[in-house]
Amino acid sequence: MLAIAAWALPIGAAGAGAAFVLLRLIGVITNLVFRQSLGTSLVAPGQGRPAWWLVLGAPALGGLVIGVMARFGSEKIRGHGMPEAIEAILTRGSVVAPRLALLKPVSAAVSIGTGGPFGAEGPIIMTGGAIGSLVAQMRHLTAAERKTLLVAGAAAGMAATFNSPMAAVLLAVELLLFEWRPRSFVPVVAAVAVATVVRGFLLGTAPLFPAVDPTVRPSPTADLLAVVCGLTGGGLAVVVTWLVYRAEDAFARLPFHWMWWPAIGGLVIGAGGLVEPRALGVGYDVIRQLLAGRATLSLILGVLVVKTLIWSLSLGSGTSGGVLAPVFMIGGALGAWEGMLFPPVAPGFWAMLGLAAVVGGVMRSPLTGVVFTLELTHAWDAAPALLISATSAYALSVLVLRRSVLTEKVARRGLHLTREYVTDPLEAHFVREVMHTEPLSLEEGDSVDAAFADRLAEHRRTTGRPQRLIPVLKPDGAVSGVTTRRTLTGLVQQGGSAAVSDAARPCQLVVHSDHTLRHVAFLFAEYALTSAPVIDPGSKRLVGVIALADLLHARRYRLTEERHRGRVILRRHRAGVGV
């Protein structure tokens, strides 16, 4: 763990550097395309009302460039980055091709810089992850260790982009690691900590969207209305997710190569930009207005309608760009619109709740949505209301949609995954609870004859369970070897009498009665076995036999816990238990 954490430190610095370069590259392209000037600052593409042909044509040209890069560079640059990172972790041993570290940020910069309504966070997740993976590939590491360094790079890039270290760590745990273990958690935090420090030197330490009044004091009424805000945000999340994948299905039916799809998506973006120019680009300026409570009704409605449509439809075309910044903007606009109807609390308060709600619903990561909002605004007193809103949206999304916008794309590639973290039931049960306690065993000097065949049959009738593996014991009761029912039956059918020692083979594996079933499952996988003798850890004498089917006991117990309903208090009272 410590060695991997040491490697995570330079990866964190590299992730922050990659985030800085990506943001500056977006600024360069945006200034060149829409202002015909040199500059690295992030500017709004629609600011200053550029010519209509530029608004319409620039996103289409950018989409065409991305299509060519994907066709002749790497198809993995298509999409918003997170599903690709998940797929690399789960199916490719956390191995990312080196060219992605260059192609993904460049394609994202082209997409966003030419007016694409996307965020930089998805591409930086893939870029930072590629850096971590490349470092890991140069070392003699396991796939689990490569995964840790990949996620460390991805989380570092995220932390540097938004100055949100805690949210980046939560995002890593909720979306990428698929575990919560010290071996991965410590290195990821190390990388994020370094990235946050480096980010301070490169981009500053101030919150990205500071709240006008960080000392928010929500009333009980506001907390109650947070449920309404969460449910509407969850409903919007469902609509947005549905639009993204209906658009993807529609593009898949087009009668020409997918290389041209991003250009069509760019035309959709340009058409939306003609209606609402402020919907173009990464939109940090618009998010800042929404969270400061300065957005007008026309801006709010423009974002809710135009931004939602052009982002979801163009993302379905397979272009390159992230989901978080657009979701921030859409959620903030929904909350700001509701804030015109709800009682006033503080400037931007309801926009913050809408932002957290839509993030919780779209990404199925409610804690990440809450912490992101807090770190972006530093309005720490709003945490309870944010938690209510994000959780309400998350609950609605789970009830209505089978998968999130992140996992649906992975599932369409044939990979089903769950993000529900529960204790492994095999960890909660021991061998002594499920083993066969009256196994048939033989001593080395026993003979195998017709009488023994009757003994085999009688044992099966009395116990009601077949026993494939038969331990062979020394005179003191210790296990010296094993044999199988099939081997012994074959000797009996050959006639005559043979010694058990002739049919025995060395015992590869013995387990202890106090081992967990999870440990036994790993041992079975390691030794390619399906059963083993069980010995007492103190006396070393045989106490039972455990087979692969016995491990299902833990699963049956979990099913009973989840499906069996009963009134426990009434049952205990009738049985005379308790007071």
CATH superfamily name and code, 425-557: CBS-domain (3.10.580.10)
Q: Cα(166)–Cα(195) distance, rounded to whole angstroms? A: 12
pLDDT in tens, 480-511: 888 887 887 777 777 656 777 777 788 889 99
CATH number listed for the domain at residues 2-203: 1.10.3080.10
- Quote the Cα angle for 420-425-428, to 5°: 130
Contact 163, 199 (CB under 8 A): yes
User: 7-21, 331-345, 486-500 — which is least confidently predicted?
Assistant: 486-500
Would you place residue 234 in the very low, low, confident or very high pLDDT band (cuts 50, 70, 90)? very high
In terms of pTM, does the model score above 0.85?
Answer: no
Cα 464 to Cα 124, 454, 458, 461, distances in angstroms: 59, 15, 10, 5
Share of the chain above pLDDT 70, in %: 90
Domain borders along the chain are 2-203, 220-412, 425-557
> CATH assignment of 220-412, given 3.30.450.90, 1.10.3080.10, 2.10.69.10, 3.20.20.60?
1.10.3080.10
- Tell me whether domains 2-203 and 220-412 share a fold: yes
Q: Whole-number mean pLDDT of the chain?
A: 84
- DSSP codes, 38-92: ---S---TTTT---HHHHHHHHHHHHHHHHHHHHHT-GGGSB-SHHHHHHHHHHS
The helix-helix angle for 2-30 and 121-137 (nearest 10°) equals: 140
Convert the pLDDT of each residue in 240-249 to its tens digit.
Answer: 888 888 888 8
Positive or negative, the CA dihedral 450, 454, 457, 463 is negative
pLDDT exceeds 60 at position 573: no
Say if residue 567's pLDDT is above 50: yes
Is 422's pLDDT higher than 80?
no
Instruction: Give pLDDT, residue 579.
Output: 46
